[in-house]
Structure 1
Amino acid sequence: MSNDQIQELRELLNIDEYSTLKTTRTRSFGNARCQTEDHPLAGEFHKIFQGLGGTEKLKTPYPNVSLPQYDTTHQAVRKALLEKARKEHVFEYFKLPGAVVHGNIVSPEVADSGTWKYRGDLDSYEYNFGVDDASLTFDGIQLMEGAIAYLCKHFDDIVKTPDIALRVLDVFRRIIGALTDNKPDAAHFEIMDPILALFPSRKCNSVEELDFYPTFCPTHPHYEDRIKQWPKPDYDQDFRSDDLIGWLMTAAPSPVFDYFKPYTEHQQNFPITNEHLKKVPGFENDDIDQAMAEGRLFIVDFKDFHEETVAERNWDNYGARLHASISLFGISKESNALKTIAIQPTQTPQGSGFWEDIDWFFVNIFGYGTNKHPRSKIITAGDNYWAWQMAKNTVTTMASMAGVVDHLSSHVYLGSIPVAYFRNITEHHPLRPLLDTHLMGLLTNNHTGIFTEVGFPTSDNVDPYGDPFNGLLTGAIQHLSGFSSQTFLTSVLRRKSQYHFKTHSSPIDRHADPSLAQLKDFPQHDDNELAPIISEWVDGYIRLYYHSDQDVVDDSELQAFLYETNHYGMVRGFPDDAKTIEELVDTVSRIIYWMSVNHGFSSFVSFMKLGALGFYRDHPIDPYHEYSERDWLNICPPMNVGAGLFMFSKIFTDLPEDWFRSLGKYPKGQFSHDPNVYPYLDNFQSQLKDLDEKIRAKNRERRWSYDLRMPSTMTVSPWN
């Protein structure tokens, strides 16, 4: 490409060293607010590149809430509201077989449920932790900003890639043409298509090219505000460390399903031996059976995904695979530090013998192909260095995908709770001010993630449910991971059916297991002090309105909500009634826990050096082969897929700043109808702030920090 062509491309993209294409982080796409006044086409571009998050608006305060059996003033109003609600909010069983979704997603209340509503004086009442959630100057997470920053950083290498200019020009011609014709909808893209086109589909040539975190120019007038929205993980410089893999398994990306378990018996499909163990530094004089008997061994086995990861590579997504790996971790006799011992990339071990050796020889030449159960060998840190680095990526990529599956499956599992809630709990009920914010965005986000690419259709002739394999998330998976959209959604629905409302909202107690108790640090337990804090807040709030167990029994709106969630919503483990105040407090506390703590999702999936959703190799890893760094780079995602996955993952991870609409935050004036709430709310927020500071102090003593249980970095609801 000539210098003139490069300059032409620069001018077309309007690039300087800190240029951005801004979009508001709003999940209710139809109400997107454009904060792009510094870009000449901003008002039009946001119609195509829409951001994600939550908008806000002013609403009137809640009425003086009361239990239905004591409301002598609004009986007729409540009855009319319930009749209307039960027509507008319906359970739908056929749009997504295997799950219950909202059957009238275009109803006004659903569309409005993704909005942060403040109900009074912005300068009083709720403590805001120093962050104004109703700020009209909030720019949001700017997805294209990161892409442009990466393009600037690697501009010369990118633009020299054959045909890249033609691909980029084609994208922008479609956009500019649509805008010129005043038909922005004509420029139809999957959400990541522009990024996939902006960057080459070649493999990255260095670790630096796998680093998609923006490094903005410090002279940018909003540098401090922008850079904090793209935080690098603490382990960025230590990603080669073997200790990191064990840490990531104990500091799981998804808080609901914990794949890290004590290794208590040998598995036939994982023939680990003393020979493997003694290769690992610190275990040279150890014995595998003794270590197992003493509770010093742990396993991460992704067997649940075996049948979903063995299909041949899907070239629509640039040839990614996923490996349902098995990994062994251990504590040596001399240390309580967790070490990574061995990895078997697939569920089927390679046997020994003449024919097995012949088979291994040919598989190494021709690859797995359509083999549904590919064999693999156990690899340790004592084997070839690059073979070991590649083996570690089989674990981390599967852990990343498991986290994404778990995240969306918990959304689907919880999705019918707000359907029953809106059907039965009127705005006159005391549960509305408490739970509205915690249910914010769940219905709209579920619908967008599964059924639509960029929001709801506006035409009356278009089915708003669309294709469940082509939603914002389900459609992107096809391009950005080792799963097809069909496989991904199947996995989500299978996982969703395994949740239990009480079991999976009961925090892990590692001290109940002698093996887990040996670990120096186990963040899923050690940092999780949230359940009692939430329960105390709910107990205080509930007792303002329920003065006896009979009040609970006689609350017709509450009892209908519980019954319908269980019987019609099919939320496994959800109680179908409540007979005491204690039972009600427990159920409401668990709802909040599910919507905030169990909705937590780490940013590991953004870390392309380890966390990609695909493993780009169709051949087995041989522990004795002389691999190179080039071989390791080849198993990492291509540049355009890595960029797309990195930018796309920011939709689901990281608040724009600490305490932004996080657990403990309620919109201003949320409880202005009842001043008696505020002493309990103040106590709740104080406890959360104290816990947050306690975890920050703990993180300062850790090698790598862990923020998945920090109130300040946890969303108050599934709004993202």
Structure 2
Amino acid sequence: MSDDKIEELRALINAPTPQSDSAATQRSARFISTPQCYAGFDLFGLIEDGGPPLGLGGVENEVAPYPYVSLPQYDNATLDDRQQALVQAKLDNVFDYAKLRGAVVHGNVRCDDVQNAKDWRYRGGLEEQEYNFNVDDADADFVGVRLFEGTIAYLGKNFVAIVLSQNIAQKFLDLLAVVYSSVADNNFERISIEIIDPILLTFPNRKCNSVEELDFYPDFCPSHPEYDARIKQWPKAPYDNDFRSDDLVGWLMTAAPTPVFNYLKPFTDHMKNFPMTNDKFKRVPGFEADDLDQAMAEGRLFILDFKDFQEETVAARNWDNFGARLHAGIALFALPTNSNTLKTVAIQPTQHPIGNSFWDGIGWTLANIFGYGGNTQPPSKIVTPADNYWAWQMAKNAITTMTSMAAVVDHLSTHVYLGPIPVAYFRNIPNQHPLRALLDTHLMALVTNNHTGIFEVGAPLVGPDIVYNNPYNGLLTGAIQRLSGFSSVTFVNATVRRKDQYHFFEQSTPFDRMNDPSFAQIGDYPQHDDNRLMPIIKEWVDGYLRLYYHSDQDVTNDTELQAFLYETTHDGRVRGFPDEARSIEELVDIVSRIVYWMSVNHGFTSLASFMKLGALGFYRDHPIEPTHPYSERDWLNVCPPMNVGAGLFFFSRIFTDLPEDWHRSLGKYPKGQFKHDPNVYPLLDVFQSQLQSLDNEIRDKNADRRWAYDLRMPSTITVSPWN
């Protein structure tokens, strides 16, 4: 890039010169803005100094404390006020059945109830008694994970390779023009985070030439004084150095990317569409002396079958998704004799095996020449570790890519499933009700995040404009359209379909794998073994509610509570949600499950960010031939192109990481949340202490594991679906 082009770049973004004392320089404590990280080449530092403050951290505002809380049947002082407030609440908060087919959404995100619930709000001062786990959620200088920072860091790390790409100078200017124009008016009441197109514009649309180019995690200068603070916000996957390990795929099944991801099942019968043979099984290293049927009889075989996604994977794709596909694959896992470590033994990338007839052979030959195209029954062969090394690596990518997409579908579908709960809640529970102080924080941002993620980017959250637009062009759904093997229509339909499979009680009842003889044989199953949160949540909720409900009659006579439960079930159509509570015990159970759904069941690991395995698209239209002499180049070709990989990586950070441990995590409440009732604080202290102890226990356990698993750690679980 010439000096003239650098000057043009500076002029375009109004960047300060190295000697400038401008406000942009003064306000910036941005990490990679110091020349020492680039050995004197400060262009990227200059860009960061003038960069837009786009990041995850959220806003914290002060509001008045809650009024004196009481049940409606005992409110003699403010009953008229709370009844009038509920009349208005029912006008403001409405169930809408038409915006997204098959889902119930909030029909008025501009109302005060929704607007007041979208930010972290402290009540009455920052000196209040809530323990903050040594993390200040009100830090004005903390803007969270800086997505733009990571983009520039990757550009700097691979500058030589990227700069050789065609028209790179113009592409980089296009990036800055798009990014800066999106925030130039400083109108932060408008959703204007456009991150995908700038990245796709900037980086070359070519396949990566090495594993290093697939590593989109920023590399910062370790000597920088803020290194520790910055690098911890870009945590690498614990398996980053071991992604080739065959054991990793099996571990991902026991350390699932979402809490509701339970696709692994015991393999108890042979499958017609998965013709695994004993010969194939015995060729797998470690199973030479084993027997397939004996392993099945002993409960040592497990199957991962994505048949539920078959229709989505063969549905019409969009034309601008850079060639990505997804395959509804099948994978077989096994425990060797005298071992409790799950091994990956076979993968069939699609649901349809190749047959033995003459015409099957002709079809296989044509598919290898021309690709699958629009074939709704794409054939494939079973691949094992005993086959060509790179064929096996490609097969693993095919199954982990589907694992990643299934997790994304799971995650967003919980948003859609839970969406009606705050509608019914705001309609029926006034500020004077004790549930408000307990549940407001757990419902924070659910409505606005559903609106932003599913509905059109750029649609205002306030003002007179149309509130809802195209549900297939939201921040998430629009990105899926560009970056994955699904169209946005396919993706949204998949989330709505998956949402209909949830049950309020079933998916919030922790699974005890030790009740199943097959699962009990697996040595470590962190998804289930680490999930000890429900009893802790239940103790906290029980203590809190008994401050206000002194008998079962108090529960049955609480008309506001009963209306909330009834509307959630019948108007919100939340499957499995109870339409009434008749005892304190029932109420504690219901409220505990609401907290569990909004926090524990909202977790999401970083697999979708791991482009070596977790990309949302598999970039190969042809079958994998187990014996073909593939090369690493062939494997790199199934990974996403550089610009798409970057887009997927940086975009997925919005959904997978807290800015740091204990930042608005489970157990955190804004300062002053319970100022109205000091009796809450001893209970809160116990709750937070138990969470801290569990978190420490899981950290100790992770230290002895091959790969750490943080999805069940309280410190990394969001207190609500705010991200």
> TM-score, normalized by length of structure 1?
0.93
Per-residue CA shift, 1:606-660, capped at 9, x if unaligned?
1000000000000000000000000000000000000011000010011111111
| CA deviation string 1:128-164 (max 9, x = no partner) | 1111111112121111110000000001111110122
In the alignment, is the contact (CA less than 8 A) between 1:118 and 1:667 conserved in 2?
Answer: yes
- The CA deviation at 1:453 is 1.2
The aligned counterpart of 1:632 is 635
Indicate how the Cα distance of structure 1 residues 92 and 180 shifts in structure 2: closer, same or farther if over 3 A, else same: closer
Aligned partner letter, 1:165: A
Of the three residues 386, 394, 405, the one matched with 1:382 is 386
Matches within 5 A, 1:359-438: 359-438=363-442
Which amino acid counterpart does residue 371 of structure 2 have in structure 1? G
Q: Given that residues 206 and 633 in structure 1 are in contact (C-alpha distance below 8 angstroms), is that contact kept between their aligned partners in structure 2?
A: yes
Change in CA separation of 1:316 and 1:503 when aligned onto 2, cut-off 3 Å:
same
Give 2:516's aligned residue.
513
Moved more, 254-263 or 319-328: 254-263
Identical residues among aligned pairs (%) = 66
Are the equivalent residues in 2 in contact too, given 1:201–1:641 (CA < 8 A)? yes
For 1:261, what is the secondary structure of its paired residue? strand
Q: Tell me the secondary structure at the aligned position of residue 575 of structure 2.
A: coil
The answer to which of 563-572 and 276-285 deviates more is 276-285
Contact kept in structure 2, 1:44 and 1:179, CA below 8 Å: no
Question: Mapping of 1:420-569 within 5 angstroms?
Answer: 420-454=424-458, 456=460, 460=464, 462-569=465-572
Q: In the alignment, residue 609 of structure 1 is paired with which amino acid?
A: K
Amino acid at match of 1:118: Y
2:590 aligns to what SS in structure 1?
helix
Call closer, same or farther: CA 1:237–1:3 in 2, change over 3 Å. Answer: farther
C-alpha deviation, 1:176, in angstroms: 6.5
* Cα offset, 1:184, TM superposition: 11
RMSD over equivalenced CA pairs, Å: 2.7
Aligned pair in 2 of structure 1 residues 671, 459: CA closer, same or farther (>3 Å)?
Answer: closer
The one of 121, 138, 142 equivalent to 2:146 is 142
- Matched with 1:709 is 712
2:693 paired with 1:690 = yes
Determine whether 1:165 maps to 2:169: yes
Contact 1:44 1:184 in 2 (8 A): no
Q: 2:308 aligns with which of 297, 304, 311?
A: 304
What is the match of residue 270 of structure 1? 274
- 2:221 maps to 1:217: yes
Instruction: Measure how far apart 1:360 and its partner are.
Output: 1.2
Distance 2:684 2:192 in 1: 46
* Stretch moving more, 653-662 or 354-363: 354-363
What residue number does 1:570 align with? 573
Give how far 1:362 is off: 1.7
- Deviation, 1:311, is 3.7
1:538-687 aligned within 5 A: 538-687=541-690
Cα distance change on mapping 1:187 and 1:421 into 2, 3 Å: closer
The CA deviation at 1:222 is 2.3
Give me the whole-angstrom Cα distance separating, in 2, the residues matched to 1:214 and 1:561: 46
The 1:34/1:412 distance shift into structure 2, 3 A limit, reads farther
The letter of the residue matching 2:581 is A
Question: For 1:100-145, what per-residue CA distance to the aligned partner results, in whole angstroms no more than 9, with x for missing partners?
Answer: 0001111122122111111134234111111111111212111111
Deviates more, 1:296-305 or 1:113-122: 113-122
Cα deviation per residue 1:16-58 (whole Å; 9 max; x = unaligned)? 99xxxx99xxxxxxxxx99989899999964xx7444421111
Residue in structure 2 matching 1:285, options 271, 283, 289: 289
Q: CA deviation at 1:172?
A: 3.6
Could you tell me which of 70, 75, 95 is aligned with 1:66?
70
Alpha-carbon distance change, 544 to 394 in structure 1, aligned in 2, over 3 angstroms: same
Question: For residue 27 of structure 1, what is the aligned residue in structure 2?
Answer: none
Q: Greater shift after overlay, 481-490 or 35-44?
A: 35-44
- AA aligned to 1:304 is D
1:252 aligns with 2:262: no
Say which SS state the counterpart of residue 314 (structure 2) adopts. Answer: coil
- Checking the alignment, whether the CA contact within 8 Å between 1:191 and 1:476 is kept in structure 2 is no
1:94 maps to 98
**Residues 550 and 43 of structure 1: CA distance in aligned 2, closer, same or farther (over 3 Å):** farther
Distance 1:189 1:699 in 2: 35
AA paired with 2:659? P
Say which of 345, 348, 370 aligns to 1:344. Answer: 348
**Residues 148-159 of structure 1 mapped to structure 2, 5 A cutoff:** 148-159=152-163
Q: 3-state DSSP class of the match of 1:690? A: helix
Instruction: From the superposition, tell whether residues 117 and 473 of structure 1 become closer, same or farther in structure 2 (CA, over 3 Å).
Output: same
Alignment-mate amino acid for residue 322 of structure 1: L
SS at match of 2:345: strand
Q: Is the 8 A contact 1:469 1:486 kept in 2?
A: yes
In structure 2, stretches of 5+ residues that fail to align are 34-44
In structure 1, C-alpha distance between the alignment counterparts of 2:478 and 2:257, rounded to whole Å: 22
Q: State the alpha-carbon separation in 2 of the partners of residues 358 and 500 from structure 1.
A: 46
Structure 1: runs of 5+ lacking an equivalent: 24-32
User: Does the residue aligned with 2:334 lie in a helix, a strand or coil?
Assistant: strand
1:28 is matched with: none
Tell me if structure 1 keeps the 8 A contact 2:459–2:468.
no
Mapped contact 2:284–2:384 kept (Cα < 8 A): yes
Answer whether contact 2:459 2:467 (CA < 8 A) is retained: no
Choose 211-220 or 524-533, whichever is displaced more. Answer: 211-220
Q: Aligned-pair distance for 1:681?
A: 0.8
- Does the CA contact (< 8 Å) of 2:103 and 2:496 recur in 1? yes
Could you say which residue in structure 1 is the equivalent of 2:37? none
Q: Separation in 2 of the partners of 1:412 and 1:304?
A: 19
Indicate conservation of the 8 Å contact 2:189/2:460, yes or no: no
Distance 1:5 1:184, change over 3 A: farther
Distance 1:588 1:176, change over 3 A: closer
| 3-state SS, counterpart of residue 283 of structure 2 | coil
Secondary structure at the aligned position of 2:679 is classed as helix
Deviation at 1:223, TM superposition (A): 1.9
User: Do 2:191 and 2:459's aligned partners in 1 also have CA atoms closer than 8 Å?
Assistant: no
The SS at the match of 2:710 is coil
Counterpart amino acid of 1:696? Answer: R
Q: CA deviation at 1:334?
A: 2.7
**Residues in 2 aligned to 1:168 and 1:143: alpha-carbon distance in whole angstroms:** 16
Deviation at 1:302, TM superposition (A): 0.6
Are the aligned partners of 1:605 and 1:649 in contact in 2 as well (CA < 8 Å)? yes
Letter in 2 for 1:306: Q
Measure the CA separation in 1 of the matches of 2:645 and 2:179.
23
Tell me the amino acid that sits aligned with residue 317 of structure 1.
N
For 2:241, which of 213, 228, 237 is the aligned residue? 237
Matched residues in 1 for 2:360 and 2:455: separation? 46
CA distance in structure 1 between the aligned counterparts of 2:420 and 2:57, rounded to whole angstroms: 21
Structure 1 CA distance, aligned partners of 2:65 and 2:650?
Answer: 38
Distance (whole Å) between structure 2 residues aligned to residue 102 and residue 717 of structure 1:
17
Go from structure 1 to structure 2 and tell me whether the alpha carbon gap of 1:308 and 1:182 turns closer, same or farther (over 3 Å shift). Answer: closer
CA deviations 1:247-272 (Å, max 9, x no partner) are 00111101113111111111111111
Contact 2:526 2:709 in 1 (8 A): yes
Kept in 1, the 8 Å contact 2:313–2:486? The answer is yes
Q: Note the C-alpha offset of 1:427.
A: 0.5
In structure 2, C-alpha distance between the alignment counterparts of 1:61 and 1:112, rounded to whole Å: 13
Q: Is the Cα–Cα contact under 8 Å of residues 312 and 321 in structure 1 kept in the other structure?
A: no
Distance 1:463 1:220, change over 3 A: same
Letter in 2 for 1:466: N
Q: Is the 8 A contact 1:192 1:644 kept in 2?
A: yes
Give the AA of the match of 1:539: D
